[in-house]
Structure 1
Amino acid sequence: MTRGLVCFDVDGTLVPGTSSCAWVAAALGHEAELVAAEAAYGEGRLTNQEASIIDARGWAGHTEDEVLARLETLPLVAGIGETVAWCREHDLRPILTTLAWTPVGRLLARRFGFAAYCGPVPEAGGGRYTGEVAEHLDEYGKRDFALAQGFAPERCAAVGDSRSDLPLFAAVGMSIGFNAAPDARAVATHLVDGDDLRAVLPLLERQFNSV
């Protein structure tokens, strides 16, 4: 029987020092526009829907294979596979709760064994991206996706770093700000800084041994 749920953010949490969107945008040629849009979202001047529309335009005409090849080189923190394996060994369901595009979640789920993922969906046809957004997702969608997994909030933990994690942090029994920005640090129940995701495991073990 699965004892609980552990939610992991992607950009800024599993992906250090950049975002998956910026990493792809650097290869596709619209990095400056994307970085500005992400900064505006972080400051509350753009919604994630508005930022996604700007980013999606930069994908127009590029192939799914081209984007996937770039994502294969995405920089990641150490210890992801071991952390996911630990969750499964301890009867916890590890999922990705992220505003990264769904190709990112799909890649990471296949590589490391996350049980599920969410994210906005870029529109594609005939193997190429159209430059439109097929499905939007925002920070409240992240929270709702996690809660829809069927676990009581006190049996849910979230690991994240930024504004997009705040609604989820407020809804779960334990929130871990991992290399977190000030807004997430201010509300997380625990803080961890480092370059290896396994640093969160003692907190998860303590939390789920107590519920």
Structure 2
Amino acid sequence: MTGLHVFDMDGTLLHGAASVELSRHLGTFDEASAIEAGWLRGEISDTSFWEQMLPLWSAATESEIDAAFNNAAWINGVEDVFADIARRGEYSIVISQSPHFFVDRLRQWGAHRAYGSLVDPHMSTDRWVLLTPQHKVDITQSVLAELDVCESRCVAYGDSTSDVLLFEHLDNTVGVNCTAAVRSSATVLYDGDDIREAYALGRNLWEQAPTTCSESAS
């Protein structure tokens, strides 16, 4: 029976935030860190966050983004986990509030699909589509239906408040180096530097889960 693994990116597969990692490579780390800190404190809205952050990358080339992605502070074992999921005939998706142009590069590492906020330094604000916590639930449900996978065969991995709604919806969830909010809603917890170990916990949850959709909790 196939299954679906749903990963957050920032804080789960990546130490820290993609926006800060990209800015570090482009020489605007201090500015990005200040914006990120203000957003985390609730002083900057999601829209204002991107209004301030995107100009820092306006001159970035595709090769510079590639280099920032490859040199970012990834948790150990990301490619190994995607490869194992594919080898088993299962599916992996990444859903992140970070820019889609950064998240999508994880498909090069073996993720089946990647979803992120549709923002770009050269895109007008009226075309932005910011990915929200509810989108994580909606996308997961849509992919489950499309692939005909029941929720009992879905495991989500996340670390922050943006993952709480999805964690509340699913029975099988792994909190990865997570905040207090996620710790109270995750099925199991992982603290460490290797996503392969968190993934092993997720697979273990399947051994205790129903094997048919009719048995699965809604």
Task: Supply the distance in 2 between the matched residues of 1:131 and 1:58 (Cα, whole angstroms).
Answer: 14
* Deviation by residue 1:40-87 (Cα, 9 ceiling, x = unmatched): 443444443332332112222332332222222112111112212222
Paired letter, 1:152? C
**One-letter code aligned to 2:24:** A
Q: Which region of structure 1 is more displaced relative to structure 2, 54-63 or 5-14? A: 54-63
Residue in structure 2 matching 1:141, options 128, 135, 138: 135
Q: Is the 8 A contact 1:56 1:131 kept in 2?
A: no
Which one of 95, 98, 101 corresponds to residue 100 of structure 1?
98
Cα shift readout 1:144-182 (whole Å, capped 9, x = no counterpart) = 222210243333211111111111111222111111122
Secondary structure in structure 1 of the residue aligned to 2:175: strand
Q: For the residues of structure 2 that align with 1:55 and 1:137, how far apart are their CA atoms?
A: 16
Distance 2:136 2:43 in 1: 19
Q: Secondary structure at the match of 1:74?
A: coil
**Structure-2 residue corresponding to 1:117:** 114
Q: 5+ unaligned residues in a row in structure 2: which ranges? A: 211-218
Pairs within 5 Å for 1:11-50: 11-16=10-15, 18-50=16-48
Residues 157-172 of structure 1 mapped to structure 2, 5 A cutoff = 157-172=155-170
Residue of 121, 130, 148 corresponding to 2:122: 130
Which residue identity lines up with residue 40 of structure 2 in the other structure? G
- What CA RMSD, in Å, does the superposition of the two structures yield over aligned residues? 2.2
The alignment covers a number of residue pairs equal to 203
Contact 2:65 2:102 in 1 (8 A): no
Superposed displacement of residue 102, structure 1: 1.3
Q: 1:135 and 1:29 mapped to 2: Cα distance?
A: 26
Helix, strand or coil: the match of 2:98? coil
Query: 1:196 Cα shift?
Result: 0.8
Tell me the amino acid that sits aligned with residue 67 of structure 1: I
Following superposition, the deviation at residue 95 of structure 1 comes to 0.8
* Conserved? CA contact 1:84–1:113, under 8 Å: yes
The alpha-carbon deviation at position 141 of structure 1 amounts to 1.6
Q: Percent of aligned pairs with the same residue?
A: 26
Q: Which residue of 2 aligns with 1:193?
A: 191
Q: Any stretches of 5+ residues in structure 1 without a counterpart?
A: 124-128
Aligned to 1:7: 6
